[in-house]
Structure 1
Amino acid sequence: MITVDHLAVSYGHPNRPTRVVDDVSFDVGANETFGLIGESGCGKSTILGALAGRNKQWTGRITIDGQMIGAKRSHEQLALQQMVFQDPFGSLHPRHTIGRILLEPLEIHGINDRQNRVETVLRDVGLPVNFRYRFPHQLSGGQRQRVAIARALILKPRILLLDEPTSALDVSIQAEILNLLKDLRKRENLTYILVSHDMAVVAHLCDRVAVMQNGIFVETVTKKQIIDGTVTHSYTKVLMDGSRGYVPKTPIATYRSPVDIAG
């Protein structure tokens, strides 16, 4: 579904560019969830931006569903993949109702049967249809993120680009959103690329995970390797240790990650 060859992204002055992503290559199969994990600033979200068309200053080759894409894309190419952002409040217009937010992509792409699509997609993400008359500030963080997922789904894409979609939520709500995404992928035959800094989250949702450091891939591992602890690169081991959280010598409580809660 996705092929990326020798992707490089630089920012700053043309004479003194800063290389953010350096010669990255990977493939993602249809209906697969591919994870990108690493510390803040390593280039994970920059890769998503290049795939989504938000970042046009890249070199290399990107192929989506058999089509080579460039900086300028058609409406059909843009609709093929949609993004879900980290902050479920900042990504929704505060003065628009949920219905207005969901109608906007349909209007931009000239798609009919709009009211029916809005009602259907709200049900798909587990929200009542009458939520279309509410504003974002009237919803909880988890409900807002469900709206953000609904907005991404309303164009019926084949790919979702997930930029840390649970990191701004409470642990119990994170589990609900992770399970929703897992169910939607199976039901709608979707392909995901998930950006996260939490190894437990990507291990729960992803089939394979690329570990990024300073703009490059240091290791690509499978879900089984993460669960078994058979990763090889020292940086990957550091991320795994960090995802376990603080463990005191004398335990005072049992830490439960969103993955533990999700089961």
Structure 2
Amino acid sequence: MPTARNGAVGIEYAVHGEGPTVVCCGVAGLGAWQWSYLVTPLAREHEVVVFDYRGTGNSDTPDGPYTVRDLTADLDAVLADHGARSVHLLGAGLGGVVAVEYARRAGRPESLGLLGTPTAPSDVDFDALARLRAPRDDPEAIERSLAVAFAPGTVEAHPDEIRRIVEWRATDDADRTGWDGQLAAMREAELTDLYEVTTPSLVFHGVEDAIVDPEAGRRLAEHLPRGEGRAVESGHLVHVEQPQVVADELLAWLDERRA
């Protein structure tokens, strides 16, 4: 897989499909596996770029703490290395903050898809987010940690998929330095002056999100000048729990933008 360079930091990314470019920015601490269920439907009509934050997967792990500015610079390095001139950004959790801030500072994004995105640290239950973190060498702890990521009953209802996610997390998630660094960025992630972000935006939020207050999604859609909101029957990881719902809504919305 290709590696972009942001100074001394290497950021690994993967490319799937062909067509207009969608770039995925993920939830803090979780690896690129989180996009596995969404890439397939999106890549039928789009080129989908998925990258690992610094401290995650095979990307480099510099000492932290990290900032949102660090992560937006990593995103910029990926786009420059890939040669993408115009993109749709799809961001989940911390990745939604990165996407909004990148749209504020750069001219590349044509539109934004935002999932479970906080507008300020006060929107985040950091105790709940801490429960999502688990030692990568402890499969039982990883499985227990997933309860906070999904709507109640989801883990019990899908044991085969949960086992697959546990295996992915054991190899792909951030190590201790990466988690600490990304959580530091999350703690300072405050979206202010949203009236400046005139990029068309579609905001998804799980109605049973235990990590980011579902009201944050409503406020975000309301305060973005060209924002639209979609409530989804899921927990925090909307793109993992309800990928087809997200894909259907997003693809229809993107088609409307192009029309």
TM-score (norm 1): 0.29
- Structure whose alpha-carbon radius of gyration is higher: 1
Structure number having the greater helix percentage: 2
TM-score (norm 2): 0.29
Structure number having the greater strand percentage: 1
